[in-house]
Amino acid sequence: MKKAMNQSKLMLLLNGGSILALLLVVVLLFIYNGASSRLEKANADKNSLTYNANRFMNGSSSLVQDVRAYAATGDKQYYDSYMNEVNTLKNREQGVAALQEIGITSDEQAMIDQMSSLSNDLVPLEQEAMNQVESGQIDAALGYVYGTEYSTVISQINALKEQFLNALETRTQTQINSLTTAQNMISMIITIAVLLVGLMQVCVLLVTQKKIIRPVIAVRDQMGEIADGNLSAPFPLESDTSEIGMLVHSIHETRDQ
């Protein structure tokens, strides 16, 4: 009698494989959701970092524009706007605080500190310019805020602004790209796992049809023939060591006896 795998064992292996594949899909879905959440947060953080970086820089730029406009025109509305930014709006301070809360690197913090230090170097020149305006010395005021020293510092700050924004964009976009790649890979694995589940279910269907249903129908028909006394009816099934194979062996023995 030839050896064959038991139908129960074969079905157990196929169904067990399907269950494991389904569990893998469930686990991967949880991982995928986690990756999606991290990617969504990374995008939100990038937008927030960019917004607050511009807030910090625009706050600094507005001070320069206001003090230069005040020096050129003597219009007190520019002085009030300057003082409102310094004492009330505080876009620079709030922008930096928000950046630190979200999370920036030590190199990025160093650039912020350098820009802040340069901005502080401008304060005495701006104060002198405003004092000169109050004294009616417009030309002297313009010399303070349009002079070489002031313009040089402004150029240094602008260069640092560009460097800071480029560093921020590169870091955040690299993180987003990495998370996107991971998410796509997980999605691909989920697709493969789902296809594997489908393939295994097709195998279960085919094996059930070939190894169980058809042999059982043949055994049923043969037992009917034996019950009717017809021992010469064709019975092509061969016996083996599986459950149905042993049943077939018993039928052959019954016919022979």
Per-residue confidence in pLDDT tens, the chain, 257 aa = 677 777 778 788 888 888 888 898 899 999 999 999 999 999 999 999 999 999 999 999 999 999 999 999 999 999 999 999 999 999 999 999 999 999 999 999 999 999 999 999 999 999 999 999 999 999 999 999 999 999 999 999 999 999 999 999 999 999 999 999 999 999 999 999 889 888 888 888 888 888 888 888 888 888 888 888 887 778 888 888 888 888 888 888 888 87
For the record, the structure tokens of 174 come out as 């690299």
Q: What is the pTM of this model?
A: 0.79
> How far, in Å, CA of 249 to CA of 238, rounded?
7
N-to-C CA span, the chain = 18
DSSP character for 239? P
C-alpha distances in angstroms, 14 versus 19, 21, 84, 192, 241? Answer: 9, 11, 74, 17, 19
Closest CA to 108 of 32, 161, 40: 161
- Alpha-carbon 207 to chain mean position: 41
205-238 burial string, b = 16+ CB within 10 Å, else e?
Answer: eebeeebbeebeebbeebeebeeeeeeeeebebe
* Amino acid found at 163: Q
Q: Which two tokens stand for residue 184?
A: 């796509």
Q: What is the pLDDT of residue 246?
A: 85
Q: Going along the chain, which residue ranges are E strands?
A: none
Q: Which amino acid makes up residue 12?
A: L
In the prediction, which pLDDT does 243 show?
A: 83
pLDDT of residue 1: 63
